[in-house]
Each structure stands twice: as C-alpha cells, then as structure tokens.
Amino acid sequence: MEVNFSTLIFLVFLALVLQPVLTGRMYALRRVQAIRSIEKRRCSRVITMIHRQEKRSLFGFSMSSMIGLEDAQSIISAIKSTPRDMPIDLVLHTPGGLVLAAMQIARAVEAHPAKVTVFVPIYAMSGGTLIALAADEIVMGEFSMLGPIDPQIMGISAASILAARDAKPVEHVSDLALVLADVSEKATAQVKRGAVEIMTPRMERAKAEALADTLTSGTWTHDYALTPAEATDLGLAVSVGLPQEVLDLMKLYPAPVKQSAVEFLPFEPPGRRMG
C-alpha cells in the first residue's frame, strides 16, 4: 500500500490519540495484579482512592481530581460487598474534597465490623484525614502527612472568617461577612460532630471531642502537614512503616512526566559501575 503524506499524518494522529488509552489500559492491568497480590498476602480486601494528576483523557490532557460523590458511591459499594469478617485495607492519596462525600466514606469505614487499615503513602489531607479518623489503624510512611479538617467557605477557612467577624464590633461587620460567619459556625459544628461520631467507637468521647476541636478550629492553616509523630501525639492510632507492595502500587498511578522537575538515575552499587 502506498503511504503518502496525508496517510502518514493520519497514522501519527491516530497514534497520539490511542497512546494514552493503551498506556492507561496497561497500568490498569498492572494495578489489578498488584492489588490481588496485596489481598492474597494480607488476607484482606484492598480498596484504593488515589487522586493525582495523570494523563487520563483521550488526547492525553492532564486531569486532577478530589473526593466526590462518585468516590463515595464506589467505596461504599465496595465496603458493603466485603464479607463482615474480612479486614479492609484502604489506600488513600488525596488532597481532600467534598465534605459530604468524605463523611459518607468515613461512616462506611467506621461501620465495617472487621479491622480497617488506612495506608497513607504520601498524603491524605482534609477529607482524606476525616476518612482516616474512622479507621482502626493508620499506617504512614516516614514522610507521609495528614492535615486539619477545618471546613473551607468559598476557599477561605471557616475559622478565619469567624476570627475576622469577632475582631470588630458587629455594627462594623458587613452583612455578607455576617452571613459567611453564620455558615462557618454551622459548617465547623457539623464537621466536628461528624468527626466525634466516627471516632467514639474506638476512642473515649472526651478525647474524641478534644481531637475534633483541635482539627476543626483553625489551629493550623488548612494545608498544614501533620507528621506521623504529631498525629500520634494527638491520640491517633498511627504506625510508621508502609509495606513495599503499597509503595510499588503507588508507582502504577503515574503523574505526567513533562510536569515533573525531578530526575534521577537508577542506583548502582559502586562495585558494579563501569567506566
């Protein structure tokens, strides 16, 4: 068959279109194999919620995601289909997201009769931390992090809105600021109450209330990184030491190479180096 310039352009275009799809299918297959391996070794049901930027669309555009209602529906379905006596390993990597969805997932995690372990390879912030609070055990890496669960109103910390309102006489506060402060009070109270609810089966109520108050009251900025040591000091059941297979699993959720400023060569022992 004669290949002219137009045919060549078409083939190049077709390759560009199909490459992200085929790569995605390859990684999906490898993830299935890795998850099955972890399940067999730990005799558990593995559920993952990984939110990171990766080439997922037909044309390879980068897409990022956060906790949403679709995630809640999928995880709840997975938990409900798991035998009541089977442990669950939930791998979380997320910046957070919708409070409603995170709370739904947290309640489903708390309600599972068998042990639920949350693995945090890198970070589980905001709503991810809320979900982790419902687990029997949180396993983190040495440099993994959790975060505060203070609600955000229009992208602003609810605690900061309340602090701004209380910093001046009410007659000098605008109506909009008062409305936002009212919403902030309600949102903070709701998240705190929900956090206490999911923690009390595994923690004394007084400790749960104190921890929920610390995490929701704006003690830190919303992006503050709670280290494993700090999380332990707060009273969370945290252990450090991620299984290698969980770390290997994370490699199967690649971010776009073109957006990374990090590059390194595979390590070779000194005795094997040549030239």
Q: Is 240 exposed, middle or buried (0-12, 13-18, 19+ CB in 10 A)?
A: middle
Which tokens is 228 given? Answer: 């494993």
Q: What does CATH list as the number for 9-256?
A: 3.90.226.10
Which tokens is 270 given? Answer: 């000194």
Residues written for the chain: 275
Task: Work out whether strand 54-55 and strand 62-63 pair parallel, antiparallel, or are unpaired.
Answer: antiparallel
How far from 169 is each of 97, 114, 155, 164, CA to CA, in Å?
Answer: 34, 52, 25, 10
DSSP single-letter state for residue 264: -
Per-residue burial over 158-185, b if 16 or more Cβ lie within 10 Å, else e, is: bbbbbeebeeeeeeeeeeeeeebbeebe
Whether the CB-CB separation of 224 and 23 falls below 8 Å is answered with no
Residue with tokens 């993994």: 144
pLDDT at 266 (0 to 100): 66
φ/ψ of 39, rounded to 5, equals -60, -40
DSSP single-letter state for residue 68: -
CA distance linking residue 187 with residue 159, whole number of Å: 10
Which tokens is 19 given? Answer: 């490459």
Q: Taken in order 173, 174, 180, 182, is the CA torsion positive or negative?
A: positive
Of the candidates 142, 116, 149, 141, the one whose C-alpha atom is nearest the C-alpha of residue 250 is 141
Per-residue burial over 55-76, b if 16 or more Cβ lie within 10 Å, else e, is: beeeebeeeebbbeeebbeebb
CA distance linking residue 182 with residue 218, whole number of Å: 16
pTM, to two decimals: 0.83
- Give me the residues of the chain with pLDDT under 70, please: 1-3, 5, 7-8, 10-12, 14-24, 53-64, 255-275
Written as one letter, the residue type at 24 is G
